[in-house]
Amino acid sequence: MTFSNHANTRSPATGADAAAVELYDAAIDAQLRVSTDVGEVWEATVADHPGFVLGHIGRAYLRGWSSEEPAFTEARGILADLGEPPGLDDRERRHLAAAWAYTTGDLLGAAERLAALSAVYPHDSLALAVGHLLDFFVGDAVMLRDRIGRALPHWDRSHPHYGFLLGMYAFGLEECGAYQEAEETGMRALEHDARDVWALHAVAHTHEMQSRVRAGLDFMAERRADWEDGNLLAVHNTWHEALLLLGDGQIEAVLASYDRVVAPGEGPLAALDMVDASALLWRLHLDRVDVGERWQPVAQGWESILDEPWYVFNDVHAVMALVGAGRLGDARNRVERLVRDRSAASTNIAMTTQVGLPICSAIVAFGERRYRDVVDLLHPIRRNVHLMGGSNAQRDAVARTLFEAAIRAGEGDLARAIAAERTDINSADPYTRRQLSRITAVA
Ligand SMILES: [Fe+2]
């Protein structure tokens, strides 16, 4: 069976018939839309087609989204059951190798294999979507942009996925600091499909990074019906809106937004959402805002989903929650587990050694009011924090921790240097201005 024009590839698909190809197209579509039913749609690809190789590989990739170890064990089980079916073509073999790399914790290797695949098969939407997510997980801004930029010239603008590619490209441009081009590209993507929540998210980032607070809040409000439900980015986009509210000094509105959407709910918890909860409360913690009992369920939530180290970006946010909740002993234990990590997850080992451990240690030190230690831990790695993954906006929580610690440690010269650095990048940032006025006040 050959894939349809929708999937935009001429390669044969092992184990698929016309019905399976249609289901595969639907799964790719759900993935690009970050739809809440994406898991069910991928399962449907193999329900009546147990030999559909790319269906199984897609199911395995999807489990990587969670960034939690148990899902990776499940993904490896899917790939083990699949084995090495005879007759795979080059593209399928490449996908299978990338999926194994991904699910065994070699995120960098998987990202590289998918980039090589995309160079040969630039129309393969699955390779681009999974590769783009991996670039986000490893904090590779340049590849967030260029993985998509390399493929775009090969695409017909009338293809139903073209707009989604623009949305991904917009995020890559934004992470590389090309805010105007990112915004224009994201808005073009939204013309293709107003419910492209990844494109919308990219535009939200451009507002955040330039502190265009009012314009950003208007943008999110006007398009609320397009992003607020039906997709797995709803919590994260609410978090972005809350960051803009924070920039606008609307603390009560930030807390209301947190309580309504971001706080862990009754249902199953997802690390991707818990990251947002921790990150928002941590910013408030740095600003000495009383958040009441809000930390406790976040800390408990992290404990319920994290076991052995797997993705240190999650551990950083779990440690924030434990420190915020006043559970310093548990926070220190989490750091100890990172020190002892002997898992085979090679990318995470590197991330942990290079930046994850010093960041987690610094968050504990902040909780223990050892502000000079925070500075000593974070200042030497401040240019490499991207190695823990995530976006510039997310990593600003770490940058703010260093800034705040420098002020509390009485390191006025360093704090002024940091303020100058931040002002140079974004002169409109109200947070930097506020911090600067505090430094001036104590000088
Ligand atoms: Fe974001």
What is the CA(240)–ligand 1 centre distance, in A?
7
What is the CA(238)–ligand 1 centre distance, in A?
10
For residues 56 and 298, the answer to whether their CB atoms sit within 8 Å is no
CA 29/CA 200 separation, integer angstroms: 17
For residues 109 and 101, the answer to whether their CB atoms sit within 8 Å is yes
Distances (CA, A) of 248 to 46, 180, 273: 48, 22, 23
Q: At which residue do the structure tokens 């609320």 appear?
A: 224
What is the CA(370)–ligand 1 centre distance, in A?
30
CA 209/CA 178 separation, integer angstroms: 11
Structure tokens at 298: 């976040």
What is the CA(222)–ligand 1 centre distance, in A?
19
Grade residue 181 by pLDDT with cuts at 50, 70 and 90.
very high
What is the CA(351)–ligand 1 centre distance, in A?
20
pLDDT score at 442: 57
**pLDDT tens per residue across span 349-361:** 999 999 999 999 9
Mean pLDDT over 80-91 rounds to 94
- For the chain, the maximum distance between any two Cα atoms, rounded to a whole number of angstroms, is 73
- Mention every residue, 6+ apart, whose C-beta is less than 8 A from residue 7: 21, 24, 25, 28, 125
What is the CA(220)–ligand 1 centre distance, in A?
13
- Mention every residue, 6+ apart, whose C-beta is less than 8 A from residue 324: 278, 281, 282, 285, 291, 295, 298, 299, 367
What is the CA(201)–ligand 1 centre distance, in A?
6
What is the CA(320)–ligand 1 centre distance, in A?
18
Q: Which residues of 222-232 are buried (b: 16+ CB within 10 A; e: fewer)?
A: ebeebbeeebb
pTM, rounded to two decimals: 0.95
**pLDDT tens per residue across span 234-278:** 999 999 999 999 999 999 999 999 999 999 998 888 999 999 999
- Is the pLDDT score of 9 beyond 50? no
Q: At which residue do the structure tokens 């509105």 appear?
A: 253
**pLDDT tens per residue across span 313-323:** 999 999 999 99
What is the CA(210)–ligand 1 centre distance, in A?
14
CA 127/CA 130 separation, integer angstroms: 5
What is the CA(345)–ligand 1 centre distance, in A?
25
What is the CA(394)–ligand 1 centre distance, in A?
7
